[in-house]
Structure 1
C-alpha cells in the first residue's frame, strides 16, 4: 500500500534576520554563501516510511560520529532555482524533472525514493517562506539545494535503515567570479570523473569530491573549469566538473556528448536541446574526441562551445588548455548561437517570453 504524504508542520522562527541585515546580505550575494532563514526536514525509516516533515528555522545538525553518511558517503542532492517573474510572483523551472532525477540518484545509491509531489511541495513551501531573500541583482535567483543523507548510527557497509531529507536555500548572484565573457577550461589528463557502471549519472557528493583535485589543478593553471575525458580510452570529451558541454559547428548543427551512464542528465542540457530543435537546428548526441575538438577549432569548423548547468545557466567557453598545447574557440568570446539559446532559456525562466513547454511552475 502506497504511503500517504506526511503533512508539513510549520515551526515559528524565533529570530529571523532583520530586514536591514537581510537586505545588506542580498545586495551582493555571490553564490552559495548567503543562506535564508528556514529549511525543510523530512525523516525516513524502514518501519515508518517518510514522516516528521517540518519547515522551521535553519540551523546546525547534530549527528552521532557513527552516522552512516560520514563513513560510507550514502548521499545525494539536487540543485534548482526560484525566479521572480515580471508580475512579481515566484516560480520554479521544471521541478518535476529535478524530482525524477533525485529518485534516479536515490535508486543508484540504494536509498528510498521520495514521492515527487512531496519533493516539489516542500520546495514551494520553503520559497514561499523565504521569498524576501530574492536578491535585487541582475540575473539574481534563490538557489535551492534539496539533499538526502544516510542517518542511521551504524558502522557497517550496507544501505542505511534511516535517512534525512532536507532543503536549504541561498540567495544567488553570478556563479563565476572572473567576470570574463567566456571561460577557460583545463583538460584533465590525470583524473577521470566517472566510469561505466559507476555513479556518473547520479547526483551524489562523491562525484564532486573526486573532481576537486582536477579542478584545483585547473585553477592553478589559470583556468575556470576542468573538462574530463572518458575513463576507458581517455579520448572522449564527457563534461566539466559540474556542467554539460555543447559544440556548435559552422553548418549550424550542434553536438553534445550522450548522457548514457557516465554523464549527468542535466535539466538545463535537456531544455537547450529542446529549444535548439524548436529553432530547426540539428542536435546530435554523440561522442566527441578531444583531438577532433582541437582540430575542428583550429580549422574553423567548430565556431562555438558552451557549458550549461543550473548554477551557471549557459556559459561560453573561450579557450581550452592542456599540458602540451591550447586552442581558442571561434573568436574566444561568446558566440551568437550561445547567446541566442541562453536568452531563449532565461526569458522563459523569468516569464518574459511564452512557455510552450509548461516548464514554469508558479509558486504564488
Structure 2
C-alpha cells in the first residue's frame, strides 16, 4: 500500500462525509483481523498501524522486558513466568516490536479496498435513510419496477421501496413501468439498508396531494380538518379557512374544477367530496351528507348519534351505494348517523 490509499480516503471524506480518522481506524481493525486469520505468531497485544505519512502498513506486538533477567518475552510467556497476570505487567518494561510479515502488503491492499467499499455503501445507505426518514408521511414519485408475489417493488431512483398488498388499491392497475405518486408510511434501518414502505390507500396521500396542488392549503390559509377515505372509490375531506376572504371549498376545487381534477386523475378517478368544516355538529353533519339535502338533524350526545331526516327522494342519495355516503360521513364527522326520510316525521305520532 502507498499514499494512494490516503488520497482515496480524502476523496471519500469530501464526497461521502466519512471522517478520515474513522475510515483509517476501520481499515486498521480489518487489517488486524486479516493478520490474525492468515498468519501464525503472537496474536495477543498485536496492533496494525497504517502510517498516514508513508501509507505503509506495519504490524506490531508488545513484549515485556523481564526486570530480573533483562530478557524480552511475549506477554503470554511473561504472565506464565511471573504468575502475576496482566494487571501486574507494570513491573516489567513493555516495548513495541515490529512483526510485519513479508507478504502482508498484498493482503493489506485487498483488505483496505474491501473496507473502503463497505464504508462507502454504508455511508450511502445512511444518507438515503436520513433523507427518506425526513420524508415520512410525505409524497414521492416512483416507477413500478416489478412484482414479488402480491407485493410491488417501486423504483425511487436512489432506492427500491415496497408497496405491500394491503396498501394497494384493488381497482388500480400497477403496470410495470407506470409512474405514480406514493405516500411514505414507514422508513426502517435493516442489515440490507433502508426499508421504505409505501401506500396508495392511506388518507395521508389525499391530504398531501391537496397540499401540493392547492396553494392556499400549502400556505396555511386553508386547513384540512378531517379526511374519510374508501380508497379507489370515494373520499370526503373537510376544510376550513383561516381567512374570511378565502373560500376553502372553492380554493380546493379550483377554477372550473381544475385543482381537484388533477388530484382525482392521480387517484385514478377516485371521487372526492369537499366539505366546509363547521364547529356546529348539525351543520357539519348536514354538509357531510352532500350531495344529499338534509331537512333536519337531531343529536343525542349521550350515544353520539345523529338522527338525520332527508326528503323522500333523497334517501337513497344520502345513504349512498351500499351505504358508502352515510359511512364516510359518519367517519368524517365522528358521529353515528341514522338516516330517515321526511315521511317518517309525518307518520310519527302527534305529527300532522
Establish whether TM, by shorter chain, passes 0.5. Answer: no
Q: What TM-score bracket applies, with the shorter chain setting the length?
A: under 0.3
Compare relative contact order (CA 8 Å, sep 6+) and give the higher one, 1 or 2.
1
Q: Relative to total residues, which structure has the larger helix share, 1 or 2?
A: 2
Structure 1 length-normalised TM: 0.23
The structure number with the bigger radius of gyration is 2
